[in-house]
Amino acid sequence: MAKSKQPVNLTSAEVAEKAGVSLEQAKRLWRALGFPEIGDDEAFFDEADVNALTKANEIAGNGLVSFDLVVNLTRGIGQSMARLSDYEVSALLHHVETQDEDDRTPAEMLKATVSVSEQFESAFEEMMIFAWRRHMRAALARAEASIAGPEEQLGTVWQTVGFADIVSFTALSNTLTEEKIGDLVELFESRCADVVATWGGRIIKSLGDSVLFVNDDPLQAYGTAEGIINVIGRDPRMPDVRVGLASGNVVSRLGDVFGPPVNMAARLTAVARRNRIIVDEATAGSMPEDEFETRRLAARPVRGFGIVEPVAVRRV
């Protein structure tokens, strides 16, 4: 990416002084962004760092939020941007590697990647801000929905959680080259993301061989699960998948979701057969009897839940 055009000639103490914060506050924000500790006497920073720190201090200084909350939000920015940057660089490197010029050295391919990134940096930044604003509005709408439900608890909402994972991924990865593993994971995640978005859900996290998603409606969640099986498990070029669905109250915090349905959905995938959907009692009870056929499976111990009767579901 394009480097800062400003001279790097400031120490952390000088940046803190210019921004009007203590050195410890400056270091907290720096760590929250995910950057390594810099020696107090090392001239590592520039005016861009001063401006960023000044903005953070202004947010806390106007009394709108506390400095601790600013640090917390900064940590979210740092983690999201670190992952986005790794994603972007990996995708661009792959793009450059697949071009026709096979005789280029790694250094030449890296130089070409930097050149491509610099050319679309401004447009990508605008798109990033646009996406953030859109997702902020959606997140606020979900928060509003949480107090409109029967529980009326801010941040807690009734949802269906889905967990989809690739069958025998560890064994499969031992038979593939590193490049093939990367291609498989990228295709798996991108196809799952498209299906989840189509059915009005959200990807909460991707773990390489699995994805965790949520839907507000169990029927949409089933459509998501069915879609994932169709684009992954039914494709002869892709491995089989299993999907577990569980419904109930879920707490949203720091971009993640927590609650019994999250754990149950993950546990149910161990019960599901290849390219099949297994659900819990709450999800099964939400399925219209004239549209779905449910079949109770043998009761079995599920870690953290005791004896559970999973339910197999299919459209009639």
Give the pLDDT confidence score for residue 232 in this predicted structure.
94
Alpha-carbon span 71 to 31, nearest angstrom: 9
Instruction: Identify the three-state secondary structure at position 162.
Output: strand
**Is residue 99 classed as helix, strand or coil in its secondary structure?**
coil
Going from N- to C-terminal start, the domains of the chain cover 12-138, 152-315
Q: Is residue 56 pLDDT above 70, yes or no? A: yes
**Predicted pLDDT at 60:** 83
Mean pLDDT calculated for residue range 107-136: 90
Question: Do 200 and 214 form a contact (C-beta atoms < 8 A)?
Answer: no
Please say if the pLDDT value at position 284 is more than 50: yes
229-245 pLDDT tens trace:
999 988 888 999 999 99
Name 275's Cβ contacts closer than 8 Å, sequence gap at least 6: 229, 233, 234, 240, 241, 242
Q: 0.85 exceeded by the pTM?
A: no
152-315 is a CATH 3.30.70.1230 domain = yes
- pLDDT surpasses 90 at 283: yes
Q: DSSP H helical segments within the chain, as ranges?
A: 12-19, 23-32, 47-61, 67-97, 106-148, 169-173, 178-198, 218-228, 260-268, 281-285
Q: Report how far residue 73's alpha carbon sits from residue 132's, in angstroms, rounded to the nearest whole number.
A: 14
**210 strand-pairing partners:** 165
Integer-rounded Cα radius of gyration of the chain: 24
User: Taking phi first (over 0 means left), then psi (-120 to 50 degrees means alpha), and beta for anything else, what does residue 58 get?
Assistant: alpha
pLDDT confidence of residue 2 = 44
97 vs 198, residue with greater confidence? 198
pLDDT of residue 100: 63
**Contact in structure between 112 and 96 (CB atoms under 8 Å):** yes
